[in-house]
Amino acid sequence: MEYAIEISGLTKKFGDFVAVDNLDLRVRVGEIFGFLGPNGAGKTTTIRMMCGLMRQSKGTIRIYGYSIPEERSELIKITGYMAQRFSLYEDLSVYENMEFFGKLYGLNGEGLHKRIRELLEFLDLEDVKDRLAGRLSGGMKQRLALGVALIHRPKLLVLDEPTAGVDPPIRRAFWEYLRGLNKEGTTILVTTHYMDEAENCDRIGLMNKGRLIAEGTPKELKRRIFGGDLVEVVLQGRIQGDVIKGFLNVGDLKYKDGETVLRLVLKDASKELPSLLKRLDSMGLKVQSAEPINVTLEEVFIELVTKSEARVRGEAY
C-alpha cells in the first residue's frame, strides 16, 4: 500500500463556518508528514475527523485503506493518537496510565507488562514509573503521552502539537524518539508551530483557513517562493546593472564598500552555479564570493500564508 492517509474533498462545517474546506491530502506509508498552519487553520479539526472522533460534513477519509468513520474500530488497532491537550489520568501513575490504555487496546498479562517495560526504557521513564502523571514535568508528560499512543505498536502515529510548550533540548530529544520510530517503519503525521521541527519532516502540508495552500518537501517549498534557489554573488567593483542583467535573473543589485552584491535565482544552484561563475570570469568580472542564501521555512510560510490571504481577498500580489 502506497498511502497511509488518503483524504479527499474533506469538509467540516460548524454552523455556517467552514473550518475545513474541501481538503485533499495524502501521506505516504513510511514518511514523517508535517501538518502545519497558523492557529485556527483547521489542523486539529482534520485530525479529529481522521481519527474518527468527529464526523465530517463531506468528503472521504481512508487510513490504510479503511474508510473513516465507518471502519473506526479497525483504525484504532493501527493508529496511535496524541491529542493537543494532555488527556491522560493525572491521578494515575505513569505505569498505571500505560496499563489502563494498554487494556483498552486489548493487551493484558505478561504481553502488556513487557510492552510497558519496553516503552518505559525507550522513553526514559523508568525512574518515574510510579509517579502520578499530574506530578510529571512538561517534558515527561509528553513522553508519557507518546508512550500511551505507542502501547499497541501502531503503524501510524498522529501527533497534534506533541512538543508545544516544552524547551528546546526536550523537543530535540522528543524528535530523536520520533526518528527512531520512523526508522522502524512507523508513519507519522505531526503538527507543530516550531519551524526547526518542520525541517525534520520528509514532506509538509501547509494549511490556512481550512485549505491546503502548499505541499512538498522542505526544499521544494523553499524553491517555490522564488522559483528556484536564491544565491548571493559579490563582484569586485561597481558593475552596472545592464552588464549582467541581460543574461541573469537578478532579483536585487546593490553596491556596498566598492563591491557589487547581486541576489539572483537559479533553478538548481548546485548545477548552475559553476557555469555561471565561469561566465562571469570570462567577462572579466572578479567574483569575490558566491553563496546560496538559506531561506528559512519560517520565511516561506509567512510568504505563502500572506499570498494565500491576498488571493482570497482578490488582491494582486
Ligand X SMILES: Nc1ncnc2c1ncn2[C@@H]1O[C@H](COP(=O)(O)OP(=O)(O)OP(=O)(O)O)[C@@H](O)[C@H]1O
Considering beta carbons, is residue 43 or 222 the nearer one to Mg ion? Answer: 43
| Measured distance CA(129)–CA(121) in Å, rounded | 10
For 178, residues 6+ apart whose C-beta sits below 8 A from its C-beta are 32, 157, 159, 188, 190, 200
Choosing from 1, 8, 9, 14, the residue that interacts with ligand X (CB under 6 A) is 14
Indicate whether 115 belongs to the interface with ligand X (CB under 6 A). no
Among 5, 7, 19, 76, the residue binding ligand X under the rule CB under 6 A is: 19
Nearest-approach distance from CB 88 to ligand X, in angstroms: 19
Give the shortest CB-302-to-ligand X separation in angstroms. 15
Task: Rank residues 67 and 84 by Cβ distance to Mg ion and give the closer one.
Answer: 84
Closest CA to 101 of 114, 90, 117, 112: 112
Contacts of 120 (CB under 8 A, 6+ apart): 94, 95, 98, 126, 129, 147
* Residue 39 in the binding site for ligand X (CB under 6 A): yes
Site for Mg ion in 35-94 (CB under 5 A): 43-44, 84
Q: Which of 5, 45, 142, 186 is in the footprint of ligand X by CB under 6 A?
A: 45
Cell matching residue 77: 488497532
The answer to whether 53 contacts ligand X (rule: CB under 6 A) is no
> What angle, rounded to 10 degrees, do the helices at 138-150 and 109-122 form?
140
Scan residues 54-113 and list those touching ligand X (CB under 6 A). 84
Any contact of residue 40 with ligand X (CB under 6 A)? yes
The candidate with the shortest Cα–Cα distance to 231, out of 276, 262, 259, is 262
CB of 117 to Mg ion, least distance (A): 33
According to DSSP, the β-strands at 32-36 and 187-191 are parallel
Q: Which stretch in 38-46, 86-94, 145-153, 182-190 sits in contact with ligand X by CB under 6 A?
A: 38-46
What is the closest distance, in whole angstroms, from the C-beta atom of residue 236 to ligand X in the complex?
A: 48
Using rule CB under 6 A, residue 37 touches ligand X: yes
Is 209 near ligand X (CB under 6 A)?
A: no
Any bridge partners for residue 264, and if so which? 231, 250
> Is-contact 198 192, C-beta < 8 A?
yes
Q: How far is CA 13 from the centre of its chain?
A: 25
Q: Whole-angstrom distance between the N-terminal and C-terminal Cα of the chain?
A: 40
Residue 8 CB, nearest approach to ligand X (Å): 19
Residues near Mg ion (CB under 5 A): 43-44, 84
Residues near ligand X (CB under 6 A): 14, 19, 37, 39-45, 84
